[in-house]
């Protein structure tokens, strides 16, 4: 397998016949048909190549049946495990505005023509996603990942350009009263 991408997490066993409850990390898991193979890495690090037998929505979760999981004990052994597939099997994005988080991690972030760091994480917030950007000194800054804030994204060049005004230009310097703007 190439690069593994986590598409779900097994939350617990369900019933007596080997079903599990899983929480999807995106739309990929729910879209897989019966017969598709996934890799489940259990909480002890053991790797299981399993085929989906069935799945059904259950609130925010999915109820999933796997081919080699016959009873509650087998299902409970997967609790806390991750469900993954090879990155090459991920569907292409349907719009130019959609990105996989893994494609943004490590990208250089430029604000007002100044490189400020690289994307360490993308945080899914209630209103919008936020980029966790870490600078050369290890300091972190959170920046909005919205249509209003983003000027350009070049995945091939691993570069995200954000509009001016998102970062205090005096932050981190001795000017302006210890790194911030003077209130007076």
User: How many residues appear in the chain?
Assistant: 184
Instruction: Write down the CATH superfamily of domain 4-89.
Output: RimM (2.40.30.60)
Boundaries of CATH 2.30.30.240 in the chain? 101-172
Alpha-carbon gap, residue 138 to 16, rounded angstroms: 49
Judged by DSSP in three states, 99 sits in: coil
Superfamily grouping for domain 101-172:
PRC-barrel domain (2.30.30.240)
Residue 25 exposure: Cα atoms within 13 Å on the Cβ side: 16
d(CA 146, CA 182): 28
Are the C-beta atoms of residues 65 and 56 closer than 8 Å to each other?
no
64 touches 22 (CB < 8 A): yes
Cβ–Cβ < 8 Å for 95, 101: no
In which residue ranges of the chain is CATH 2.40.30.60 found?
Answer: 4-89
One digit per residue, the tens of pLDDT, for the chain of length 184 reads 578 888 899 999 999 999 999 998 878 888 899 999 999 999 999 999 999 999 999 988 999 999 999 999 999 999 999 999 988 887 766 566 777 777 888 999 999 888 999 999 888 777 888 999 998 888 899 999 998 999 999 988 999 999 988 887 555 443 333 333 333 3
Contacts of 117 (CB under 8 A, 6+ apart): 108, 109, 133, 134, 135, 136, 141
Is there a contact between 53 and 66 (Cβ–Cβ < 8 Å)? Answer: yes
d(CA 144, CA 132): 9
């Amino acid at each position: 397998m190439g690069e593994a991408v986590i598409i779900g997490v097994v939350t617990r066993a369900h019933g007596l016949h080997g079903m599990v409850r899983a929480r999807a990390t995106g739309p990929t898991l729910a879209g897989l048909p019966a017969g598709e193979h996934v890799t489940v890495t259990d909480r002890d690090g053991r790797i299981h190549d399993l085929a989906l037998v069935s799945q059904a929505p259950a609130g925010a979760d999915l109820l999933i049946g796997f081919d080699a999981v016959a009873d509650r004990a087998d299902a409970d052994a997967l609790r806390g495990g991750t469900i993954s597939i090879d990155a090459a099997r991920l569907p292409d994005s349907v719009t130019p505005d959609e990105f996989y988080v893994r494609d943004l991690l490590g990208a250089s972030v430029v604000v007002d023509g100044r490189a400020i760091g690289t994307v360490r994480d993308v945080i899914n917030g209630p209103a919008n996603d936020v980029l966790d950007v870490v600078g050369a000194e290890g300091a972190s800054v959170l920046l909005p990942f919205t249509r209003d804030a983003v000027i350009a994204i070049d995945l091939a060049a691993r570069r995200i350009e954000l509009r001016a005004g998102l970062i205090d230009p005096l932050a981190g310097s001795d000017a302006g009263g210890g790194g911030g703007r003077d209130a007076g």
